[in-house]
């Protein structure tokens, strides 16, 4: 445990963008909450409750989505760099002089991309939305901006939905993460190019040789939002629970995790096939780091 | 006691070049072994094989383990310093200590800290802010605080100035080495290390030209310095090597008793550097190429 912790810390020392980028996004959004203006007239507005609720929900989502998009970019570069940089600067000779196995090293890097970073960013998103709306409420109290509807249940609902989506998406894209790490362990230079090239060549070969585009379909399905389909989230289901009609009397959001289709997402065999492929890629990355001769 | 390193028939090729060719040697505990050879002689390949970083043909046991398949276990007892510049540039000194303390059960942090306290390295500095000599000091501080049985050094002082080089070897000798530990170090700068070695292995073109303890060298090899007039008589005794220094001729003989030569001129044991040059240039049968 202590060992895992120090290996995780070592990754964060080497890749400060893992925390700096999400923190920068957070600061930007808090700035927006402090200095932002709206087109809405100031003073008390009368708004149908479901519209206020939807606006609020969109605000919470916006805080999250910005973070998750940033995180995806940061993790792309992390995964392509994490096993390459140590070979580029030859520091692998130092790391390999320590009693840390290649499996520990590679799995710890995967842990960063698949667990530590998503959880960290998720927590940061929670803090950002609370702080952001807190700031907005202070400004509202001072009378400079229109009031904002804070609804704890809606907030919990959106954050519950975000958490489930984040988990499912992280697992869905795990083979991509593992593939990037594999290329990072294998490529001698131009990692980004080698990430693109093999699938591209495979697609072209398939198309020319067999006239089919089966691989294209598979890749688009995997890289696209295939995971969302199984989550079965419609706007309506997101904001209301079963038995509610939007804007009806006493309309209240559903419980945080209700009816999100998480069970269905995990029952999706494609998710598990993806995870198996990810495991194979990680295993290959470990073998390459272990047995490659020209360290 | 069992040998620390037991190598039999090690061979390795990189595409067209033979890096190691049927190399056999053994290293006993408590020795300081110099692996000496010109650049490209196969030193680094041999050391990488010892720490399991490269695959070689032949039989190799280090501390009784196979370094290729039992590498993780081996690295608990073996420390390795490659060329100076392998500490990552982004690493902070303090974090380097944290890291080694976190992963190495035999690391004694206070030892490393007290060593660093004697240098001008600050705990908050990053490696990229340190001079080359300071990076080596840092690496040395980390390694010397590890209670390992075998220390493997590959050209550890490459590119350092004289003061740092001297300090490096003095520190290893004074603060680290004892009869429990074994050091194998590769270098092409012979003069630098000859006073600290107990054993030498000369390697050239992937082959071993000489493997001997330093005491045995004094018994087997003799350096004879004669006036030019005596040179012809000395040459008749088949020296391994000769060269002219300040108008006198210096010859190195193999397996010739000093008593047989004493009449010709001044006799003494050759320095390791002189012997190295003699061996490398003499090319004994089946011997070394120039390693390039």
Is some CB atom of chain B closer than 8 A to the CB atom of A293? Answer: yes
Tokens representing residue B163 in the block = 């003061």
Q: Which residues pair with B61 in a beta bridge?
A: B6
From the list B72, B82, B98, the residue facing A101 with the nearest CB is B72
Same domain flag for B206 and B232 = no
Strands B221-226 and B207-213: unpaired
Positions in chain B whose pLDDT score sits under 70: 1, 84-85, 282-292
| B209 and B253 together in one domain | no
B155 and B31 within one domain:
yes
User: What is the interface size between A and B, counted as CB pairs within 8 Å?
Assistant: 79
CA angle A289, A291, A292 (to 5 degrees): 70
- B87 and B205 assigned to the same domain: yes
> How far is the C-alpha of B250 from the C-alpha of B271, rounded, in Å?
12
Give how far A104 is from chain B: nearest CA, Å: 11
Contact list in A for residue B71 (CB cut-off 8 A) is: 290
A10 CB near a chain B CB, below 8 Å? yes
Query: B-contacting residues of A 23-82, CB under 8 Å?
Result: none
pLDDT of residue A100: 93
Q: Is A1 on the interface with B (CB under 8 A)?
A: no
Give the residue from chain A lying closest to B127, CA to CA: A91
Q: Give the nearest partner residue to A94 out of B86, B101, B102, using CB atoms.
A: B86
What is this model's ipTM?
0.87
Q: Is B94 within the bounds of a domain? A: yes
Please state whether A205 falls in left (phi above 0), alpha (psi between -120 and 50) or beta. Answer: alpha
Q: Quote the number of domains for chain B.
A: 2
Domain definitions of chain A by residue range = 2-291
CB proximity list for A82: less than 8 A, separation 6 or greater: A11, A15, A109, A112, A113, A181, A184
Q: What Å distances lie between residue A180 and A190, A278, B152, CA to CA?
A: 12, 10, 34
Grouped pLDDT means (10 residues each) for chain A, 295 residues: 92 96 93 74 60 76 89 96 92 92 96 96 92 83 68 83 90 95 94 93 91 86 76 55 42 66 81 95 96 72
Same domain, B30 and B138: yes
Closest approach of A6 to chain B, Cα-based (Å): 6
Q: B228 CA to chain A: closest CA distance, Å?
A: 51
Q: Shortest CB distance from B88 goes to which of A3, A91, A295?
A: A91
Identify whether B292 is part of a domain.
no
Examine the domain organization and report whether B120 and B254 are in the same domain: no
pLDDT of residue A244: 37
**Residues B21 and B164 occupy one common structural domain:** yes
Of B173, B193, B213, the position where a domain reaches its end is B213
Q: Is there a single domain that holds both residue B208 and residue B238? A: no
C-alpha closest to that of A68 among A31, A127, A118, A18: A118
Numbers of helices and strands, H then E, in chain B: 11, 13
Last residue of a domain, one of B213, B244, B270: B213
CB contact A152 to B (< 8 Å): no
Burial class (CB in 10 A: 0-12, 13-18, 19+), B289: middle
Query: Contact, A159 vs A142, CB < 8 A?
Result: no
Q: What is the pLDDT of residue B286?
A: 41
Reference A72, options A25, A128, A7, A138; nearest CA is A25
Q: Does a structural domain hold residue B38?
A: yes
User: For A8, which residue in chain B has the nearest alpha carbon?
Assistant: B99
Is there a contact between A93 and B86 if contact means CB atoms under 8 Å apart?
Answer: yes
Start-to-end Cα distance in chain A: 28
pLDDT at position A10, please?
96
Q: Is residue B21 part of a domain?
A: yes
Question: Are B108 and B245 contained in the same domain?
Answer: no
Confidence (pLDDT) at A248:
44
Question: B63 with B107, same domain?
Answer: yes
A275 neighbors A96 (Cβ within 8 angstroms) = no
Chain B residues whose beta carbon lies within 8 Å of the beta carbon of residue A293 = 53-55
Domain identity same for B209 and B170 = yes
Last residue of a domain, one of B213, B240, B256: B213
**Cα(A245)–Cα(A228) distance, rounded to whole angstroms?**
23
Element housing A56 (H / E): helix A49-81
Distance from CA of B78 to the nearest CA of A (A): 8
Distance from CA of B168 to the nearest CA of A (A): 18
Angstrom distance (rounded) from CA A199 to CA B226: 74
B289 within a domain of the structure (yes/no): no
CA A26 to chain centre: 15
Question: Is B228 part of any domain?
Answer: yes
| B86·A90 Cβ contact <8 A | yes
* B91 CA: distance to closest CA in chain A (Å): 7
A88 touches chain B (CB under 8 A): no
DSSP H helical ranges for B172-284: 190-193, 214-220, 231-235, 258-261, 272-282
Q: Which domain holds residue B269?
A: 216-282
| Pick among B45, B102, B139 to test the A interface (most A CBs inside 10 A) | B102
Query: What count of other Cβ atoms lies within 10 Å of the Cβ of residue B237?
Result: 13
**Is there a contact between A3 and B103 if contact means CB atoms under 8 Å apart?**
yes
Q: Is residue B178 part of a domain?
A: yes
Strand ranges across the sheet with B221-226: B241-245, B248-254, B221-226, B266-268
Instruction: Answer yes or no: is B111 within a domain.
Output: yes
* Among B14, B20, B21, CA closest to B42: B20
According to DSSP, the residues that pair with B221 across neighbouring strands are B254
Residues B16 and B112 in one domain: yes
Whether the CB-CB separation of A146 and A179 falls below 8 Å is answered with no
CATH of the domain at B31: 3.40.50.300
If you measure CA to CA, which chain B residue comes closest to A99? Answer: B75
Give the number of other CB atoms < 10 A from CB of residue B271.
15
């Amino acid at each position: 445990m202590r060992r895992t912790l120090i290996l995780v810390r070592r990754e964060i020392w080497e890749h400060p963008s893992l925390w700096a980028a999400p923190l920068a996004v957070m600061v930007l959004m808090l700035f927006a909450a402090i200095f932002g203006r709206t087109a809405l007239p100031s003073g008390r507005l009368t708004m149908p409750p479901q519209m206020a609720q939807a606006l609020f929900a969109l605000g919470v989502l916006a805080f999250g989505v910005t973070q998750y998009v940033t995180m995806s970019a940061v993790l792309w570069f992390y995964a392509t760099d994490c096993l390459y940089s140590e070979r580029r600067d030859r520091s692998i000779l130092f790391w390999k002089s320590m009693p840390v196995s290649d499996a520990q090293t590679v799995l710890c890097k995967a842990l960063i991309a698949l667990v530590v970073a998503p959880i960290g960013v998720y927590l940061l998103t929670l803090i950002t939305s609370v702080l952001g709306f807190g700031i907005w409420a202070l400004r509202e109290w001072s009378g400079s901006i229109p009031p904002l509807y804070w609804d704890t249940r809606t907030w919990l609902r959106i954050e519950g939905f975000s958490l489930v989506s984040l988990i499912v998406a992280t697992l869905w894209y795990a083979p991509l993460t593992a593939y990037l790490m594999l290329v990072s362990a294998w490529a001698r230079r131009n990692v980004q190019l080698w990430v693109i090239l093999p699938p591209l060549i495979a697609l072209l070969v398939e198309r020319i040789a067999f006239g089919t585009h089966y691989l294209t379909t598979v890749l688009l399905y995997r890289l696209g939002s295939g995971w969302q389909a199984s989550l079965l989230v419609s706007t309506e289901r997101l904001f209301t629970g079963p038995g509610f009609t939007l804007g009806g009397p006493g309309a209240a959001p559903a419980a945080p995790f209700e009816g999100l289709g998480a069970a269905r997402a995990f029952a999706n065999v494609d998710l598990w096939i993806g995870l198996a492929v990810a495991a194979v890629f990680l295993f290959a990355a470990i073998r390459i780091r272990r047995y490659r001769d020209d360290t | 006691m069992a040998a620390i390193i037991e190598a039999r028939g090690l061979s390795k090729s990189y595409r067209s070049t033979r890096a190691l060719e049927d190399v056999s040697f053994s290293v006993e505990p408590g020795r300081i072994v110099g692996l000496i050879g010109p650049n490209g002689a196969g030193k680094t390949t041999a050391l990488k094989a010892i720490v399991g970083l490269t695959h070689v043909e032949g039989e190799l046991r280090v501390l009784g383990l196979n370094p290729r398949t039992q590498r993780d276990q081996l690295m608990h007892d073996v420390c390795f310093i490659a060329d100076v510049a392998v500490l990552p540039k982004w690493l902070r000194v303090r974090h380097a200590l944290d890291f080694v303390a976190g992963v190495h059960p035999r690391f004694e942090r206070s030892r490393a800290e007290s060593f660093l306290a004697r240098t001008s390295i600050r705990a908050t500095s990053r490696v990229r802010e340190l001079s080359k000599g300071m990076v080596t000091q840092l690496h040395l501080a980390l390694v010397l605080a590890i209670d390992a049985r075998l220390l493997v050094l590959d050209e550890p002082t490459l590119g350092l100035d004289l003061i740092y080089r001297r300090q490096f070897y003095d520190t290893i000798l004074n603060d680290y080495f004892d009869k429990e530990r074994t050091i194998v170090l590769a270098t092409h700068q012979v003069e630098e290390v000859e006073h600290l070695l107990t054993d030498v292995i000369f390697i050239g073109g992937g082959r071993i030209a000489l493997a001997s303890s330093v005491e045995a060298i004094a018994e087997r090899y003799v350096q004879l310095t004669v006036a030019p007039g005596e040179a012809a008589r000395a040459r008749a005794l088949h020296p391994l090597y000769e060269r002219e220094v300040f108008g006198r001729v210096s010859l190195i003989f193999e397996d010739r008793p000093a008593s047989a030569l004493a009449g010709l001129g001044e006799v003494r044991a050759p320095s390791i550097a002189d012997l190295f040059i003699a061996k490398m240039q003499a090319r004994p049968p089946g011997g070394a190429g120039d390693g390039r």
